Structure 1
Amino acid sequence: MITMLIYYRGSVGAAGSFVAQMEAEGIAADIRREPGCIRYEYFQPLDEPGTILLFDTWKDQAALDAHHASPMMKRLAELRNMFDLKMTAEKYVSVDLGEDSKYIKWE
């Protein structure tokens, strides 16, 4: 699996308004239905009121590439510009936890 952590930063309220618009237009719901999408969820860090954090998890790189090539990415970019958001991103690739798994209380 591949997980992207995307931080949307702007003036207080702008990132939240971006997310509200993504949900209202159905863009987030459409992304969640894309083949290979495992997780697409927004969070707000308690110590950064102008930031929204997106957890974006995909089955593999091919699914993520297909998402990036989808037509909805144009509208997503328009909304980011409309709300004057800046982004930073981190990318994580899942691996077998090995010995570390004994420290996890699994659901």
Structure 2
Amino acid sequence: MAITIHLYYTGSGGSARAFAREMTRTGVVERIRKEAGNLQYEYFLPVDDPETVLLIDSWTGQEAIDAHHASPMMAEIAALREKYDLHMRVERYRSAEDAPGDAQFIRR
């Protein structure tokens, strides 16, 4: 069962976008993508909210998420969140394969 987390980072003065750029530029994003169980780690920019960045973070299961949260990398991420004074909203989803009744509505 894949678990996908949507993290909405919101700041002011372009800080959320600066955070995402620094996460990418410093290699943190690439290191996360190489962690066991990571399926996706990508930032997106909402067209109607220039102060928010959406992170789509997908993992093979809760064990992979727990290992990521226990990694030393989380201290780096937390420091950057503080540096840019970001606030977060979080949504959590399970993969569509877990809801077989929905399969008829998904075009592959």
Report TM bin, short chain. Answer: over 0.9
Pairwise CA distance, 1:105: 1.4
Q: Which amino acid aligns with 1:13?
A: G
Moved over 4 A (4+): none
Q: Is 1:104 the counterpart of 2:91 in the alignment?
A: no
**Taking structure 1 as the reference length, what is the TM-score of the superposition?**
0.94
CA distance in 1, matches of 2:91, 2:104: 26
* Count of residues paired in the alignment: 106
Identity %: 47
In the alignment, structure 1 segments of 5+ residues that lack a partner are: none
Report deviation, 1:100.
2.0
Gaps of 5+ in 2: none
Shift of 1:97: 3.1
Q: Partner amino acid for 1:85? A: L
Normalising by structure 2, we get a TM-score of 0.93
Q: Map 1:1-107 to 2 at 5 A.
A: 1-94=2-95, 95-106=97-108
